Chains A and B, each alone.
Chain A
Amino acid sequence: MTEALSISNLRKVYDNGHVALDGISLSVDQGDFFGLIGKNGAGKSTTIGIISSLINKTSGSVRIFDIDIDEDFDLAKSRIGIVPQEINFSIFETPMQIVTNQAGYHGIRRKPASQRAQHYLDMLGLSDKRDTPARKLSGGMKRRLMIARALVSEPGLLILDEPTAGVDIEIRRLMWEFLAEINEKGTTIILTTHYLEEAESLCRNIAILERGELMENTDTKSLLSQLRQDTYVLDLASPLTRLPEPLADSVDQTWKLRNTMTLEVMVSKTQGMNTAFELLSKNQIRVASMRNKTNRLEQLFMEITAESQSGDRGIP
């Protein structure tokens, strides 16, 4: 399969000596929905900045659809659409002007550019704001506008740098649906995000960056299978004043009474929940509902990044 993006030994050292990327290599297949996750300062935005020509690399190579950016960056740029983390359009222009101009920069004539702009503004629910100055748009609308602008050149590779940061839940879900839809239609997507739930539900492959180094680069399922335990929150049907001794002394699970109506249990993945439920039944504790306490990917992410700092992978 053709690679939409191939990065080899990419290194970036800023003028102040800070090593933002320390020789990372990764590839993204065409049609993939790829997640790039990491803490602040991990190197996600630097990677995207280099791909999109906003940051100069120190060394290494980047190929976009097999086009080396050192050989023909303009051709490579014609294949990508970028949705940056920060708002980066003129707030005095209207969405229609912003999206149509971006099409013009890609060499698309005015008439088809206007038609495409209208189409993408429609798709992102901005058609009624098409002639409103961008400064009057809400935060969510501004983010959707940047997606419409990135899509107007119909790129093969769409790169989104934390597109849903600061967006309310409803809009975030709508954006997820939209991104999944365009990925389904063939657009390769690279997403960086702080919302690990977002990466878990959207991305087929995930890379974890930590302090400029690639800690993981695999498919989401394999990554999640590394999790060794899950934590569940149990809402009780009747109040419990103290944790019964059999639960407190259990060696198979770790139980905590959060409040009189909520129990929390940590179980190993190999063990499952059966023994936990048996224990609850024996102690006549009735459970009304149950949910996973943490986002699984978030838990794994915390483990991996903590390991990189301690140099130890033996977290239970």
Chain B
Amino acid sequence: MNRERHWIAFITILNKEVTRFMRIWQQTVFPPVITTTLYFIIFGNLIGPRIGEMAGHSYMEFIVPGLILMSVINNSYSNVSSSFFGAKFQRSIEELQVAPVPNSIVLLGYVCGGVLRGLLVGVVVTLVSLFFSDLSIHSFPVAGSIILLTALLFSLAGFLNGMFATKFDDVTIIPNFILTPLTYLGGVFYSIKLLPEFWQVVSHANPILYMISGFRFGFLGTADIDLIVSFVLICLFCVILFVVNLRLLDRGFNLRQ
């Protein structure tokens, strides 16, 4: 009985989240498509032929997985952080607080909303990439599981940001000053093997490198990092973030006085 009620509550939160980002699709789904198309045109079509091959593939083929994953990372993160902070700001989060919904269901509802938006944008960007590249997938299970886990991880990270945020600036600081640099330095546009040895070692501290490398393996069959290491680290980060978020929710951090 409780399980059924919790399932309905979860579906309700998820449905609310999907309705929210689809209502403003011009702000949520469309902009990443435009941005990524510009990347394809400028870096892939215009600059790419001058660069030549990267890790044994054309530059366009090389950057496609990274660009898809970058859009998934940004969208799953920003969806949850802005939606959860917005609910706190408008106090509509109280609708959930006063209802008999366990915190784990609240967390899963918001996070799955972020995952769905990330995947939706990822699919649309993938379709756009077909106009610029003959996309071939080396291993669908690897590409599929990496993209899903990455969306999950960054949705959880977005939720954490939303929990800590007390003003609108707090929601934009992390994406602007941490997430974007890490994504660009995570090997979207280059193989880390091109870097001097010191910077290769430093790059290994960037968690996004493992995701992009794993996802690129799913498409091209080549990777900078061992695939098992990528999976283990992504899963580990997911578990840590899930536990931290749940603990904070249980404590009512920034939610209850």
Q: Which residues of A pack against B, CB within 8 Å? A: 14-15, 49, 52-56, 74-75, 77-78, 80, 82, 84, 86-93, 97-98, 101-102, 104-110, 149, 153
Contact = CB atoms under 8 A, between A and B. Distances in A.
A77 B5 contact: no
Interface residues of B, number: 30
A153 B101 CA distance: 13
A286 B96 CA distance: 62
B90 A88 contact: yes
Contact of A88 (B11, B20, B95): B95
A205 to B, nearest CB: 24
A55 B257 contact: yes
B139 interface: no
Given A104-B9, A106-B100, A109-B8, A92 B23 contact: yes
Contacts of A149: 95
Contact of A97 (B9, B19, B96): B19
Given A91-B90, A107-B4, A101 B12 contact: yes
Interface of B: 4-6, 8-9, 11-13, 15-16, 19-20, 23, 86-87, 90-92, 94-102, 252, 256-257
A104 B98 contact: no
Contact of B257 (A14, A74, A78, A89): A14
Contacts of B95: 88-89, 98, 101-102, 105, 149
B100 A78 contact: yes
A54 B97 contact: yes
11 contacts: A55-B256, A74-B100, A82-B98, A89-B95, A90-B87, A92-B20, A92-B23, A97-B19, A104-B8, A105-B99, A110-B8
A67 B19 CA distance: 35
Nearest to B102: A74
Secondary structure class of chain B's binding surface, majority of residues = helix
A53 B5 contact: no
B46 to A, nearest CB: 40
The 10 closest A-B pairs by CB, nearest first: A107-B5, A104-B12, A105-B99, A88-B91, A74-B100, A78-B100, A77-B100, A90-B92, A88-B94, A52-B98
B218 to A, nearest CB: 36
B170 to A, nearest CB: 20
Contacts of B86: 90
A77 B98 contact: yes
Nearest to A109: B8
Given A55-B257, A107-B4, A102 B99 contact: yes
Contacts of B15: 101, 104
A105 B102 CA distance: 10
Given A14-B257, A49-B257, A54-B256, A105 B12 contact: yes
A102 B94 CA distance: 11
Given A77-B98, A105-B95, A108-B8, 15 more contacts: A54-B257, A74-B101, A77-B99, A82-B98, A87-B91, A88-B90, A93-B16, A104-B11, A104-B15, A105-B99, A106-B99, A106-B100, A107-B6, A107-B8, A149-B95
Contact of B256 (A56, A74, A77, A89): A56
A80 B100 CA distance: 10
Contacts of B92: 88-90
A105 B9 contact: yes
